[in-house]
Amino acid sequence: MPMLPTGLQRHRTSGTYYLRRRIPTDLLSCYRGRKEVVFSLRTKDYRTALERHRNEESRLTAEWNQKRQHLADSAAREQVQALVRIDALTPEAIDAICKHAEAASLAGDEARRESETPYTLEEIEDYRGGYAEANSLLKAAVALGDHDFLRGPLEQFLQLYRYRVNASDAEMRRLALAYGRAAIRTNEKLLNRYEGKDEPTPTLARQLGTPMLSEVTQAYLEYYKKLDKPAMLRKVNTVMPLLLDIVGDKPIGSLRQTDLEDYFEAVQRLPPRWKDVCRQEGISARELAAQHRAEMSKGTFDGTYLAAMAPFLRYCRRKWQDQGWPMSLTTEGVQYIGTRRESEGGQRHFEQDELKRLFEGAEMAAFARDTSQAHKFWLPHLGLFTGARVNEICQLNPQTDIRADVRSGVWFLDITDDSESHKHVEKSVKTAGSRRKVPIHPKLLELGFLQYVERVKALGHTLLFPNFTPVAGKASPKARLWFSNFLRDIGLRDETPNARIVGMHAFRSTLLHQAMVQGVVNAEAITGHTSNVTSIEKIQDGQLDQDASPVVKKYRGELPVDKKLEILARIAYDIAFHLPAAPGVAD
Cross-strand bridge partners of residue 185? none
If one compares 161 and 417, the residue with the highest pLDDT of the two is 417
Q: Percent of the chain beyond pLDDT 70?
A: 87
Domains, the chain, in order of start with CATH, read: 8-70 (no CATH), 84-208 (no CATH), 213-323 (no CATH), 352-568 (1.10.443)
Rounded CA-CA distance 196/187 in Å is 14
pTM above 0.85, yes or no: no
Pick from 36-50, 61-75, 348-362 the range whose average pLDDT is largest: 348-362
Contacts of residue 379, Cβ cutoff 8 Å, sequence gap at least 6: 390, 393, 394, 465, 468, 479, 483, 504
Q: Which stretch of 247-251, 370-374, 491-495 has the lowest confidence by average pLDDT?
A: 247-251
User: Running DSSP on this structure, what letter comes out for residue 38?
Assistant: E
Rounded CA-CA distance 437/425 in Å is 20
Sheet holding 436-439, edge to edge: 402-404, 411-415, 436-439
For strands 84-86 and 163-165, give the pairing: parallel
pLDDT band at 183 (very low <50, low <70, confident <90, very high): very high
Question: Comparing C-alpha atoms, which of 109, 90, 246 is closest to residue 98?
Answer: 90
Residue 158's pLDDT is 84
pLDDT band at 573 (very low <50, low <70, confident <90, very high): very high
Residue 551's pLDDT is 42
pLDDT band at 27 (very low <50, low <70, confident <90, very high): confident
Q: Which stretch of 19-33, 168-182, 417-431 has the lowest confidence by average pLDDT?
A: 19-33
Mean pLDDT, the chain, whole residue set? 84
Per-residue pLDDT tens digits for 341-371: 665 457 889 999 999 999 999 999 999 999 9
